[in-house]
Amino acid sequence: MMAQTASAERAQSRARVAIRPELAPLVFLVLLSAILGATTTGFLAVDNLVSIVAQVAVVGTVALAVNLVILNGEIDVSTGSLLATCSLVFGAVANSTGGVLWPFLAAVGFGGVIGIINGSLVAFGGIPSIIATLGMLLILRGLLLVKAAVGVLAIDPPSRGLGIDFILGIPVPVLILVAVYVVAEIIVRRTTFGRDVIAIGSNGRAARFIGLPIGRVKVICFTLSGICCGIASGVFFGQIGQLQATAATGFELRVIAAVVLGGTSIIGGSGSVIAPVLGAVLVGVILNGLALNAVPETLEQFILGLLILTAISLDAIRQRLSLRRR
């Protein structure tokens, strides 16, 4: 009897695993890595794998927060310009104070403020999030072009630590990505706020009818997105060393691609916390595989676009199947 219930429970939890949204991208990632490992020398080397993760750490860190925004049923397309602007703040403060801490705090603070503005426009101004954040994307890029039109901004090596240092042999960008992931996982799994994010994204009317603080939750989501841009700017600037006004152009699309490729539904309400990390690593592996096999860089965008369309189509089919099951 006991054994029976236990096995029934196990069957149930297996069923739950089978429908988890991040499963498909995970399987794809493992398969792709196996194929690349077998065909491409140097791919499975630990250094190569770690460097892949380090390369996608900036996208992944921001995508972890944008994932929350998308789970909430909104979208944030301002992250490209915001990352660059935060980097400008980071660089400017670094050049006057030196070190990492103050520039980091300043960038995070700046990102947070912009996030609050984005969120308030959406939650209280009633502006659709794609419009509000698109406006912010253009405004920030415009400010950058005015402020830093000529030349580049460089920082001293001590201030580049977040992008290039190692702790216990692990690159700092990877550590930051993991830390942000852990925090995101705790937020979604264990806090009321995390639950509210998903509840609002999956059925806004029901959320309203039970009195959830919808406006506040939305503002916090966008604020976290801004804060993560601030965190990532330290890594970003550290990795590239010098900043141009056009830096991180198109970054926002790579962030959204990572979220969606990882298995979070673009219409909100369903997805997982690990999705953006998986998606970002998947993109990293593909780009790395292409580079190692000397595929011309010009094909990169084409292949990524194809991949995104495939992933979204599969998601749409999955949703239709599960609807039919209901």
Partner 1 sequence: MQKIIEKLDVDDVANTSVRAETSCGSVRTLCELKGVGKQFGGTWACRNIDLTVNAGEVHAVVGENGAGKSTLMKLLHGVYIPDEGSIVRDGQTISFRSPRDAEAAGIAMVPQELDLFPDLSVCENLFVGRERPRTRFGTFDWKAMQRESRAVFARLGIEIDVRALVRSLSSASAQMVEIARALLGNAEIVLMDEPTAALSLKEAERLFSIVRELCDRGVGVVYITHRLEEVFENADQITVMRDGAWVHTGPSNQLDKHQLVELMVGRPVQKFFHRTPRSPGEVAVKVQGLGVRGLFENASLELRKGEIVGLAGLIGAGRSELAQTIFGITPAETGSIEVLGRRVKIGSPSAALKHGIAYLPEERRSQGLHLGYPGPWNITFGNLDRLNWFGLTSRKVERTEASKYQSMFSIRGDMSTEVSGLSGGNQQKVLLSKILFQEPDVIILDEPTRGVDVGARAEIYRIIDDLANSGKAILMISSELNEVLSMADRILVMYRGKITGAFDGPDFSSRQIGYAIAGVDAPSSDADLRTVA
C-beta of 322: minimal distance to partner 1 in Å?
8
> Residue 58, Cα to own-chain centre: how many angstroms?
8
Q: Which of 16/168 has CB closer to partner 1?
A: 16
Q: Are strands 170-171 and 166-167 parallel, antiparallel or unpaired?
A: antiparallel
Q: Which of 145/206 has CB closer to partner 1?
A: 206
Q: Which of 293/322 has CB closer to partner 1?
A: 322
Which spans of this chain sit near partner 1 (rule: CB under 8 A)? 12, 15-16, 186, 189-192, 195-196, 198-199, 202-203, 205-206, 208-213, 269-270, 326
Q: Rounded to an integer, what distance in angstroms lies between the CA atom of residue 236 and that of residue 183?
A: 20
Q: Rounded to an integer, what distance in angstroms lies between the CA atom of residue 168 and that of residue 69?
A: 33
Q: Which of 192/293 has CB closer to partner 1?
A: 192
C-beta of 190: minimal distance to partner 1 in Å?
4
Give the side-chain half-sphere CA count within 13 A for 24: 17
Q: Which of 12/242 has CB closer to partner 1?
A: 12
Burial of 185 (C-beta count, 10 Å sphere; 0-12/13-18/19+):
middle
C-beta of 62: minimal distance to partner 1 in Å?
25
C-beta of 318: minimal distance to partner 1 in Å?
12
Residue 222 in tokens: 């966008």
C-beta of 282: minimal distance to partner 1 in Å?
24
